[in-house]
Amino acid sequence: GLEVSLTSASGLEVSLTPHAGLGVGSEGRSAEAGVTLKIGEGLERLAPSGAERFGERPRWYVYAAGSGRAVGYNFARTRDGDYARSGYTQDKGSFLGDASVGVAYRKGDMQTSIGVVYREIDAGKGLRGMNGLDTDVSEGLLAFQLSIRPSR
């Protein structure tokens, strides 16, 4: 993939990695694009190849990421394709956007991160029926992750 990285004289690194994707499934079509920004030390060694290990030297970085997804979906259809939920329909697509910021730390076989995620959903003007249905939703959440690689 395409990645742009810069390293300062003090060893602080900045990495910018874009991503994009397309999806087709029984629930509709989607397209997604976004970018992840990392700032920290030893970023090039965060995902070593092969059996290379980190040792006990800790590494950390802060990150900010954003992505948007456009979804074409008919909400009236079930997964089986019938119209059992035909009380309302969605003829146009909707948009989902995510933005996150946080900090990650890795030492040896352990990695942890904590961050804040903000999500915005815009179901668009194609949503009809169901008076009072909120088609624009925003939410925030706290995300925590801990992973430990088992020793052999």
Total count of domains within the chain? 1
Q: Taking the complete model, does pTM exceed 0.95, yes or no?
A: no
Cα 113 to chain center, whole Å? 14
Edge-to-edge strand list for the sheet holding 110-122: 4-7, 13-25, 28-40, 59-72, 94-107, 110-122, 136-148
114 band by pLDDT with thresholds 50, 70 and 90: very high
Over range 60-78, report the average pLDDT: 73
- Residue-range definition of the domain harbouring residue 83: 4-148
Find residue 7's DSSP bridge partners.
13
pLDDT at residue 135, rounded to an integer:
62
Task: Give the integer Cα–Cα distance in Å for 54 and 49.
Answer: 11
